[in-house]
Amino acid sequence: MPPPVPTSKPSKKGRSAKAHKTPDSPDSSYEDAPPPPVRGSGASAAKQMSSPGFDDDEDFSARRPSPAYSDVGDDPQHDPKNILEDVPETTIGENVKVTGNLAFEKLLRIDGSFEGQLESEGDLIIGRSGTLVGDVAGMGELIIDGKVQGNLSADKIELRAKASVFGNIICKSLTMDPTCVVVGQMNINPFAPGEIGTDLKEVKPPEPEKPAEEKTEEAPKADETPAAEEKKEEAPPADPPAE
């Protein structure tokens, strides 16, 4: 005897279409189903919800923009300055070597080699192929991608990529990538080039001592005679000896 033929189709595995019907559907077989879950394990799902677009929280924190370079409203006084967008008034090319004294007003870019003294209160950019041999003092902002052999003193210094500095650094603000090299002493504080104490207040240098005045003995005047001579003159003449 042949087996009986089923009169209804077998149910399919998985969620049925009824679970996704809306309550407005006239079908009385509506089932109140929860929303479809986020695919993946619980840990990965939590990461997707907390830090979308990043692999983990550390990666997300590392890629967050620095507050110093974030947008702060439309106030032009708070717009971050980017000297890389400015056109330098003087540029030392990659295959150029300059030796001596160089004075400029606003911005200098070194992609070649310079050895000597820089005279300016402006800004300085040293490219990856740039080399500076000499001291920098009294400038505004320095962005260094290359190599420096000398002491640096400025308001703001940024060391990028594989920059190397063989000398002392004095500034109010320093930004440095972990791949940079610095061989020298650092003095970084809001009062630079001045010193700062443990109480975070400026340490004023001591005032120089005034040289002591040397006392000189005055020579006696011509009309003045020593007291001993005056006494001799005032003394009466001695009596003659008795016979």
Label the pairing between strands 186-188 and 169-176: parallel
84 SS3 class: helix
Residue 130, token pair as written in the block: 């740039």
- The residue with tokens 């003087």 is 90
| The pLDDT of residue 16 | 47
Q: Residue 77: what residue type?
A: Q
Residuewise pLDDT in 10s, the chain (243 residues): 566 665 655 555 555 444 445 555 555 454 555 666 555 555 555 555 544 444 444 443 344 444 344 343 444 444 567 888 889 999 999 999 999 999 999 999 999 999 999 999 999 999 999 999 999 999 999 999 999 999 999 999 999 999 999 999 999 999 999 999 999 999 999 999 888 999 989 998 888 877 766 666 666 565 555 555 555 556 566 666 665
| The pLDDT of residue 146 | 97
Q: Residue 214: what residue type?
A: E
| The pLDDT of residue 171 | 96
C-alpha 109/C-alpha 132 separation (Å) is 11
Q: Is the pTM for the entire model greater than 0.85?
A: no
| The pLDDT of residue 228 | 55
141 SS3 class: strand
| The pLDDT of residue 224 | 57
Q: Is the preceding omega at residue 193 within 30 degrees of 0, hence cis?
A: yes
| The pLDDT of residue 82 | 87
Residue 116, sorted as left (phi over 0), alpha (psi -120 to 50) or beta, turns out to be left
